[in-house]
Structure 1
Amino acid sequence: MRTVIKFAGTLLEDDSTVRSLARQVAALSKEGHEILVVHGGGKFFTATLKRMAIESKFVGGLRVTDRETRDAAIMVFAGLLNKKLAAAISAEGQPAVGISAADSRCFLAEPMVHNDVEGGLGYVGYLTGLNLPFIESLWREGLLPVAPCLGIASDNELYNINADHMAAASAEFLGADQLIYLTDVAGVLDGEKVLSVVGCQEIEQLVKRRVVCGGMILKLEAAKRAIEGGVQQVRIVGGTTPEALLLAAHPDEVASVPGTLVLGHSHAAAEAAFTAA
């Protein structure tokens, strides 16, 4: 099974959480899953910029990224956080390799258009393709690729990409069977209740009713893109929930799967189908 796993950057801040999730990733790989890990690191990046006296500016949830900010992003995402996660997975017995867009041009990007201006947000881009033969060659050699949220454009510059959208686009371009978002919350929440299922048609209403906001909106939009791109299963689960990743990756084998399943049809339609079955 081909699987893309996206790590929320906040999960990388706690060493015990990193070790637990790395163990689960390694276990899935040993079962035969072809895994690509994509990770963010926004909060740590923001803290690093603050230490460097670089002001953070956001427009519509996207970070405005000038050259100085972009260079810091490369240091944080492709450097410290990427190597920390690759090392943790390797320590659990599954050799992992940190890769970035600059390596064999493995993640291709174009500048984001904002207010009808390409590059209006600076070095912020969106994923347009990936080097599938390169990634498959790593899998054949028994290596698990770990990628930060960066892409390389035709101008040979590296661009910062929203990690949720990069994971969804990567899953689409890889023809992945499943996409799992590991987050710092238990799933899509309605108050304190975790929504076990969300249909793509329900996302707009959830936003209008302000049931979801901020980063979860981007996550659901990305999940919808993945499903429309042919990814069979998308789940949003809390990374700190015990064995959450293993349970989410084996939904047919367990009685209760944590988090939220995102479906291409409405929740009501899903319930009707289950009742009919």
Structure 2
Amino acid sequence: MTTCKSMQHTDLKTIVIKLGGSMLKGLTTDFLENFKKMQQVGIDIIIVHGGGPAINQALAYANVETTTKNGIRITLSDAIEIVQSTLIGKVNPALTHQLNGAGIKAIGLSGYDGSLFDCSFLDKKEYGYVGKIEAVNTALLKTLLAEKIIPVVSCFGTTADGVPLNINGDTVASKVALAMNADSLLLVTDTPGIKIEDEVQNNVNPEQIQEWINSGDIYGGMIPKVQAAIDCLYEGIPTVQIVGSKLVGTKIQRKGVFA
């Protein structure tokens, strides 16, 4: 992650950064140092993380098969506890520890903590123990941010009666960004943006994205990313970016608003 020059004079106040699971092992000192610089210019940061590679490894070790549909992991009863223990017990504390070790105040959270999420089943018949977020406890997040503590949110929640639910990380990031009226959402992944015919698109709009989904140029795990981005745009988040580790990639904005 490199510091954008414009960041030094930004009007941004709150930014949600979603780190894909494939990015977590490759976080560099410069990447982490950039969070300090963002805080120094008055930006409140919320981190949401995935854990796909670690979950895949844990499921394989337990001989539990896993499949995806529309970019969402189908999570059946034999997988949900493994997903839970991996995300909450391993990935989240490891990332939080790394941030704290770099001198960045951070605290790990999931939907179990402080009633952070109000969740329900996305479609139990279709996806199993996969959730959707009905509401976000913004008061909890604002309390942490007021103390300059970065919330590190894992994509896991629970129903009101305690049933565990796996939630797509891009969806979590978009719901948190919307609830917090964030100024920007960054989806950081190992794919530096939307690629069409092997070429990264610098600026796109929702209409182009829908055409590429229909044509099959956008597929798999990129689908929930762009859908989360579009939802945020139409709900009022000014910009959403899908970027690589250097924060270079695709800026998604509504048609006619590009500078």
TM-score scaled by length of structure 2: 0.89
One-letter amino acid of the structure 1 residue matched with residue 127 of structure 2:
L
| Deviation readout 1:8-66 (Å, 9 max, x if unpaired) | 1000133xx25443222232123221111001111220111101111113333322222
Residue 221 of structure 1 pairs with residue 233 of structure 2: no
The CA distance in 1 between the partners of 2:108 and 2:82, in whole Å, is: 17
Is 24-33 or 102-111 further displaced after alignment?
24-33
**2:23 aligned to which of 5, 11, 15:** 11
**Structure 1 SS opposite 2:115:** coil
Match of 2:66 in 1: 56
Is 94-103 or 209-218 further displaced after alignment?
209-218
Note if contact 1:29-1:94 (Cα within 8 Å) is conserved in structure 2: no
Match of 1:262 in 2: 252
* % same residue: 27
Match of 2:36 in 1: 26
| Deviation readout 1:56-112 (Å, 9 max, x if unpaired) | 133333222223311111111112111111112222222100111111111221101
Q: Please list every run of 5 or more consecutive structure 2 residues that lacks an aligned counterpart in the other structure.
A: 1-12
Note if contact 1:18-1:88 (Cα within 8 Å) is conserved in structure 2: no
**Cα gap change, 1:51/1:20 in structure 2, threshold over 3 Å: closer, same or farther?**
farther
Note if contact 2:107-2:152 (Cα within 8 Å) is conserved in structure 1: yes
**1:42 aligned to which of 49, 52, 57:** 52
- State the 1:177 CA deviation: 0.7
Match of 2:244 in 1: 238
- State the 1:214 CA deviation: 1.1
Note if contact 1:207-1:217 (Cα within 8 Å) is conserved in structure 2: yes
Note if contact 2:178-2:235 (Cα within 8 Å) is conserved in structure 1: yes
The CA distance in 2 between the partners of 1:166 and 1:200, in whole Å, is: 20
Note if contact 1:11-1:18 (Cα within 8 Å) is conserved in structure 2: no
Match of 1:87 in 2: 97
The CA distance in 1 between the partners of 2:40 and 2:96, in whole Å, is: 16
Match of 1:178 in 2: 184
Match of 2:218 in 1: 212
Structure 1 residue runs of 4 or more that deviate by more than 3 Å after TM superposition = none
Note if contact 2:71-2:223 (Cα within 8 Å) is conserved in structure 1: no
**Cα gap change, 1:148/1:27 in structure 2, threshold over 3 Å: closer, same or farther?**
same
The CA distance in 2 between the partners of 1:97 and 1:262, in whole Å, is: 30
Q: Please list every run of 5 or more consecutive structure 1 residues that lacks an aligned counterpart in the other structure.
A: 245-257
The CA distance in 1 between the partners of 2:144 and 2:93, in whole Å, is: 17
The CA distance in 2 between the partners of 1:153 and 1:20, in whole Å, is: 38
